[in-house]
Amino acid sequence: MRVISRNLDWHDEYSLYKSGLEVCPRSLKVLTNFALLSMARGDVEQGLKAALRAVEIYPAQVAALINAGVAYQKLGRYAESVDMFQRCLQADASMAKAAGYMGVSYYHWAAEQSDAAAGKILRDEALTFFTRAIESGFQAPSILHLTGSVLIELNRPEESIVYFDAALRQSVNYAAYYQHKGCLLYTSDA
C-alpha cells in the first residue's frame, strides 16, 4: 500500500518535492528544489514562499538566498531581490551568479525610474555587478547582452559592441555544446 501511495506522490519532480515538504519540511534540498520547480511552473509566489522558508532556516545558505532573490526579481520586487543577492555575496563573495543576478535586478529597477538621476545610479550599479560577474567567470549570454545594453543606455556604445559580440559568440558556443550533447534547443515551423 505504501509503495502504491508513494508512486502516486512521485509521478513527477514537482510532486516528489511537494510531498517531500510534508515529510521533511526543514530540508534545504527539498525547499530549494521545490522553489525552483514552482517558479518553473509559473507559480513564483509559491517558489518565493519556499525560498524564504529556506532562508529563514538557513540564513547564510547561498542556494536559498539566490532562489529568494530570483523569485523577488521575477515578481518585480527589485529592492528585495538586491537584498537577497547582497546577503548571498556576504555569505560567499566569490558567488559570480549572485553578482550577475544582482546586476539584472539593478538593471530592471533602473528601467522603472522616472527620475533620470536615480536611473543612472542604478544602471551604474548594474554595470558594476555585471562586470564583477563576468570577471569572475559568469559569462552567460544574457549577462553579456545586458552589459552591452546598459552600456548603450549609459551612452558608451563603442564598449557595448564588445559585450554584444561576446553574447553572440557565447550563444553559439552554448548551442554547439547542447547540440553535441543531443539536446533539442528549439523547434521551428519553418
Mean pLDDT of 32-61: 94
pLDDT band at 6 (very low <50, low <70, confident <90, very high): low
Q: Count of alpha carbons within 13 Å of 29, Cβ hemisphere only?
A: 6
Q: Count of alpha carbons within 13 Å of 103, Cβ hemisphere only?
A: 29
Mean pLDDT of 11-32: 81
Q: Is the dihedral of CA 171, 74, 71, 69 positive or negative?
A: positive
pTM of this prediction? 0.83
| pLDDT tens column, 82-128 | 999 999 999 999 999 999 999 999 999 999 999 999 999 999 999 99
Confidence at residue 21, expressed as pLDDT on a 0 to 100 scale: 82
Q: Cα(19)–Cα(10) distance, rounded to whole angstroms?
A: 8
- Over its C-alpha atoms, the chain yields an Rg (Å, rounded) of 19
Identify the DSSP state of 19: H
Helices (H), 41-115: 44-57, 62-74, 78-91, 96-111
Query: Which helix H or strand E contains 35, and what residues bound it?
Result: helix 28-40
